[in-house]
């Protein structure tokens, strides 16, 4: 994250989802979520020209609300800060983007805590299988003591995570050949999971055959039969068009996941306090708005996906939890996260093991 002279800021970026959008275009991109942001003129050249990269599609709420935040930041800083938002893994897959934000090649990166766990192990604790029952249990934990403990983990890894985590929603399993009704349906099942030890551990404990693949490559893996299914919130299944290569969706709610927006500590320390405050306030404000939009969107998408040929079924979480307990899944992860972290998780989610 380097300060640049005005002459270098104006034409230094390749085509990207810009923060300078008409109100009509942005509202359309939000899919009805709405955006009360004015048109931001480029009368002032930016002192800081930054990049935010992520793997979600351009129509995903993480992207549309990141654009909202970037527009507000430019306005609130009087044009001093210009953030270009790069969706669709344009700057690389999740693993590449994590390396880039650490090195300073990009300035901000957003992805789920379970992917950050390759560097910040505690970041995956919210993704403990079948822990949170609903969103009412999630936000007090992630905005409270558990979230604060996770952010300390980022700090130790020389990353700064903004206070409010964004909402990816509860994850469901889609398949091409059969629905998942109970744990026996997962035995030997080839399922794509993110590049995350926790996801691999979860599905191995459920006796599936997980394969880690970056999000940008999942559609092709499903299309070619490398895997028979995947698991994601419905909004990802919709925006990534997985309905074109999947037939069933089993509502397992097996993991709640959210996206942190992070920058490197080295980068963040070089920013004036007044700029920091405005950037943080805007990202956190958009996070709250994005949470509500994703919850509503995931609730509405079942009907849309059914019209596109997806057959839905609901599952009982109890048999899945029983398999995980017997496999030692909860005991293993309690030992890895430690007593303090596990106590905070169970304070919000209830006893797990």
> What confidence tens digit (pLDDT) does each residue in 240-262 have?
999 999 999 999 999 998 999 99
Q: At what angle do helices 197-205 and 329-337 cross, to 10 degrees?
A: 160
Residues 6+ apart with CB under 8 A from 170: 132, 233, 253, 254, 255, 256, 298
The model carries a pTM of 0.80
Contact (Cβ atoms closer than 8 angstroms) between residue 180 and residue 197: no
- Closest Cα to residue 170, out of 224, 96, 116, 251? 251
**CATH classification number, 6-168+258-300, choose in 3.40.190.170, 1.10.10.10, 3.40.50.880, 3.50.50.60:** 3.40.190.170
pLDDT mean over 125-154: 95
Asked if 6-168+258-300 and 170-256+307-349 have one fold, the answer is: yes
Distance of alpha carbon 104 from alpha carbon 194, whole angstroms: 24
Please tell me which residue, 353 or 265, carries the higher pLDDT value.
Answer: 265
Q: What rounded mean pLDDT belongs to the chain?
A: 88
Please tell me which residue, 293 or 41, carries the higher pLDDT value.
Answer: 293
Q: How does residue 196 score in pLDDT terms, banded at 50, 70 and 90?
A: confident
Distance of alpha carbon 92 from alpha carbon 2, whole angstroms: 20
- Answer whether residue 13 shows pLDDT above 60: no
pLDDT tens per residue, range 105-124: 999 999 999 889 989 999 99
Contact (Cβ atoms closer than 8 angstroms) between residue 47 and residue 73: no
- Answer whether residue 224 shows pLDDT above 90: yes
Distance of alpha carbon 84 from alpha carbon 12, whole angstroms: 11
Beta partners for residue 314, in sequence order: 251
- Answer whether residue 1 shows pLDDT above 80: no
- Retrieve residue 278's tokens: 């405005």
Domain assignments of the chain as residue spans, ordered by start:
6-168+258-300, 170-256+307-349
- Retrieve residue 63's tokens: 């992207």
- Answer whether residue 24 shows pLDDT above 60: no
User: What homologous superfamily is domain 170-256+307-349 in, according to CATH?
Assistant: Bacterial extracellular solute-binding protein, family 7 (3.40.190.170)
How distant is the alpha carbon of residue 234 from its chain centre? Answer: 13
pLDDT mean over 304-331: 96
């Amino acid at each position: 994250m380097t300060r640049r002279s005005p002459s270098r800021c104006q034409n230094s970026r390749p085509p990207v989802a810009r923060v300078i959008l008409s109100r009509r275009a942005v509202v359309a991109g939000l899919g009805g979520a709405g955006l009360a942001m004015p048109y931001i003129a480029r009368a002032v050249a930016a002192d800081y020209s930054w990049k935010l990269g992520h793997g979600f599609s351009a129509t995903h709420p993480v992207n549309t609300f990141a654009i909202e935040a970037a527009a507000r930041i430019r306005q609130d800083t009087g044009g001093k800060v210009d953030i270009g938002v790069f969706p669709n893994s344009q700057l690389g897959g999740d693993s590449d983007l994590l390396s880039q934000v650490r090195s300073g090649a990009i300035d901000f990166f957003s992805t789920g805590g379970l992917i950050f766990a390759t560097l910040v192990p505690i970041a995956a604790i919210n993704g403990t299988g079948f822990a949170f029952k609903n969103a009412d249990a999630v936000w007090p934990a992630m905005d409270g003591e558990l979230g604060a403990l996770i952010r300390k983990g980022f700090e130790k890894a020389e990353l700064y995570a903004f206070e409010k985590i964004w909402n990816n929603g509860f994850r469901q399993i889609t398949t091409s050949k059969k629905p998942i009704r109970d744990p026996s349906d997962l035995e030997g099942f080839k399922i794509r999971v993110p590049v995350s030890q926790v996801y691999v551990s979860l599905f191995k404990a459920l006796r599936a055959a997980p394969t880690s693949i970056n999000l940008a490559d999942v559609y092709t893996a499903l299309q070619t039969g490398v895997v028979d299914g995947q698991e994601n919130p419905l909004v990802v299944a919709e925006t990534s068009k997985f309905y074109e290569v999947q037939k069933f969706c089993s509502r397992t709610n097996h993991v709640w996941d959210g996206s942190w927006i992070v920058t490197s500590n080295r980068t963040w320390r070089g920013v004036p306090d007044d700029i920091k405050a405005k950037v943080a306030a805007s990202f956190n404000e958009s996070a709250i708005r994005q949470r509500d939009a994703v919850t509503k969107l995931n609730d509405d998408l079942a009907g849309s996906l059914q019209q596109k040929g997806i057959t839905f079924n609901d599952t009982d979480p109890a048999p899945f939890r029983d398999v995980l307990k017997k496999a030692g899944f909860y005991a293993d992860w309690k030992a890895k996260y430690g007593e303090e972290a596990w106590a905070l998780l169970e304070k919000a989610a209830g006893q797990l093991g």
